[in-house]
Amino acid sequence: MTNMLNVPKAEGFSTTGFCEDDSNALRPEVSESLKQCEQQWWQARQHLVTLEERKMFWYGESSTIMWLLWQMVSYVVVAIVMLLLVKVLDMSLSAWHYVTVFGVQTLLFMLVFVYKSKLFNHLQSKIDLANLAREQALNEMAILAADSILPDIHAHAPLSLQQIYERYDAQFRMASLQRLLQKEVDSGRLVLEQHQIEAQVLPPELVEEGLLPEPKEMVYRSLIAAG
């Protein structure tokens, strides 16, 4: 790992978030605040991913086929339930009962299908709100990081994502660190020397799953420290 003791601190940043006796150790209150913001961001993002998956499932390119398929499945389920009721309760149902039940079921399906666009708009509104919550959580996390870990990273760059992760004793998700660092890259304060395209295209949680390039190969160089 790069020697991080003799590199000058980046100008224009505060390091008040660190303990005086250990430049790598965040103050407990700062660390706790950052972890809370990180958790809020992660939960907001996972909620957004869930909604996006639901949108893709019900309103994607093959959505019509999916809706018809689920309607067929519902027919089968209702038929099984009715047969079980007849057997368990020892009751008899005429063909008219079956026709009525399946007719009502079909009518409900047609009503839902007709209002499909309204349901889509409702889901899209939820997605927009979830995306806003995610961005707000990320911004709050970035504000706290700007007065704590980011000045330290700039002062000791170049550092790999793996080194940054270990520097703070794995207190934060690698995906969260990658997202904060990407904001610095987008702002022109950091340069990602390798795999910048992959890091921008793939979702940040893939860092946790090992699907991004090796974290030790994602090296960040500070333009502030170099200036």
Interval 62-113: pLDDT, tens: 777 877 888 888 888 888 888 887 888 777 777 787 788 888 888 888 888 7
| Entry pTM | 0.63
Residue 14 in domain: no
Q: Is there a single domain that holds both residue 138 and residue 170?
A: no
CA Rg value for the chain: 27
Residue range 118-141: mean pLDDT, rounded: 90
- pLDDT exceeds 60 at position 15: no
In a domain, 56, yes or no: yes
Do 190 and 127 reside in the same domain of the chain?
no
Q: What is the per-residue pLDDT for 124?
A: 93
Q: Domain span at residue 90? A: 26-143
Go through 85-99 and write b for each residue having 16 or more CB atoms within 10 A of its CB, e for each that does not: eeeeeeeeeeeeeee
3-state DSSP assignment of residue 212: coil
Inside any domain, residue 1: no
Domain end marker among 110, 143, 176: 143
116 and 188, same domain (yes or no):
no
Q: Would 18 be classed as within a structural domain?
A: no
Tokens of 156: 């000791």
Same domain, 124 and 59: yes
The predicted pLDDT at position 93 comes to: 73
Residues 121, 46 share a domain? yes
Average model confidence (pLDDT) for the chain? 76
Q: Which tokens belong to 8?
A: 């000058």
